Structure 1
Amino acid sequence: MLIIFYLLLMLRVGRCTDDQNLVTVTVGQDVTLTCARQTSLYQETLFWIRLVSGNLPEVLGTTFNFDYDDVKKTPRFTAKQEPGSFLLNISTTKLSDTGVYYCIKVNQLDMKFVKGTFLRIKGPEPDITAIIQVPPSDPVRPGDSVTLQCSVLSDSENKTCPGAHSVYWFRAGSDESHPSVIYAHGNSGDECEKSLEARSPQKCVYNFSKNVSSSDAGTYYCAVATCGEILFGNGTKLDIQAVNMWDLQTANTVLFLLCAALAISLIVIAFLIHTIKKKSCGCFNVAVALQTDGATASGDLQSQQRDENSLVYSAPTFTKRKTGKAERRNVKTAEGETVYTDVRTFVIH
């Protein structure tokens, strides 16, 4: 029977006779939900059920359409009849009692939603006054270590929730994906600074560090869970600057060209120095040669002049002798001979 009931409930057969209304109470108070009951000869059954997000439907109380004195009681829930109504009483409400409550009338396989009520349990006001997130000041590149900071300011005098608050980090990707929890801080309270002034707000600073990659881009939110609520900060958008391969290639090309220009300049300078040295040596050798040739020519000229100024004077002396027959035969030979008896040389300066 319950299996069929749950299937019919999930298929939402029938219709709601009354518009769904909203009831808000403070945590710890009692609340009573009312559903109209009409007496009939037909055997019909009334149910109070509760739907809480993430849980299966929960039956809290049942009764008949005719007068019935039975009272169904479970811890904090009481279901009973009163004239023309079917009541559900919740005592000492908790934050977990928040949900949708339906009054359903079932007649064999026919199910009708008589009334629906959204019950909201309001907890104490959080003592958090501000949640401040500070974005990184420097550009972020892949491989860098990034520290995100979240400062939680609270009013220590008006603390209404017992225990310490919990801090979580959420990330919403750049592709507009749903936020996901990436880190949760403990409740040690070591991150909080105690203010010396009584009326000064208490400041708790929470840091989240990570070595980022290109896939870590997105918006990071600091969330504080306290008093049954979750309070979010303004968020920190983290942009990861990708390395531009074109710029890197351009930088390498420019560096290569500079090195090549430097090398060519050194080669040209070395060549010029060698050329200048070679020309200097050539000029020196020419000068020495010219000096040497000049000295030699001058010496020859002086020698020639000395030779020209030197005159040789000689005085021939002839001796006449008697000749015999043999001597006469050699006259012709002797006629061509000249004998110098004295040679004198005069040098004219």
Structure 2
Amino acid sequence: KIFKQNFVFLCFVSTQTLCSKAIYWYKQNIGETLKLILALYKNTPPEYGPEFSNSRFNVNNDKNFSNLMILKTIQEDEGIYHCGITEWINAEWSGTYLLRTSNYSVVQQPTESKPDRTGDTVTLECSVLSESQNEAFNNVFWFRAGSNKSHPNIIYTDGNRTDQCEKRSDHQKRCVYQLSKNVSSSDAGTYYCAVATCGEILLGNGTTVELGMILFYLLPFILNYVNIKIIHICLKSSSSQSKLCLCVLIITQTEADINYAALNFSERKTRGRRKREFTETSVYS
């Protein structure tokens, strides 16, 4: 596995072979036929195939080895490289598979999102950076891992969309994928984008979505920094012999900007010596 490095293939040959036999180097992509890279005939200069040149493919014969060097490997260099040695009807063959490591990076934005209320729209963005202009991303998946540590669930897939890609430089391409949804209380959790390309699955760093959590954080703060006053007020009507009483619980701020009040309403009506209670209501705000 290599990335942007020089790579050397070794093919064992005897000193006598280098003088009397032909050496061939081929490349084979998966599912395709062999393509000639170069051919060496005795001590003559190498002859390159139509798709290859000495600008990136060099050959050197050293003692008992024929060395094929690829300069600054790219993704398209991945494949099987064959070394063939022939002399009349005799042939020797060997092959090496070159697997190039990924040159992608996946970035998610934002890393945290806190919508104010249910129904708000949250937009998550997944950016894929690549150093090859010819590569296409097969599929993009979105997963959500719930806040209760449940297993991630796939929620959306997006196929290859070339209109979302832009060329940032001669050697870099950027593709952007977005997920927009109206959130509800059950949508809290961490969202991940996953890009499947070239036999690999690349995961983003994740975006945490929280909804209405500030109410739970604020409650202990309210209870710790308050002053409490209780006021009892009664109003009596002389004509109807009824009385309206208000019990007011006032919680005022100390150092925090918080107000809390509880009201208790009771109504009593008196006829003669018998007293009858009607309704009693408590209101908190």
Name which one, 1 or 2, has greater alpha-carbon Rg: 1
Query: Do they fold alike, i.e. is TM over 0.5?
Result: no
TM range (shorter): 0.3 to 0.5
TM-score (norm 2): 0.39
Task: Return the structure number with greater strand share.
Answer: 2
What TM-score results when the alignment is normalised by the length of structure 1?
A: 0.33
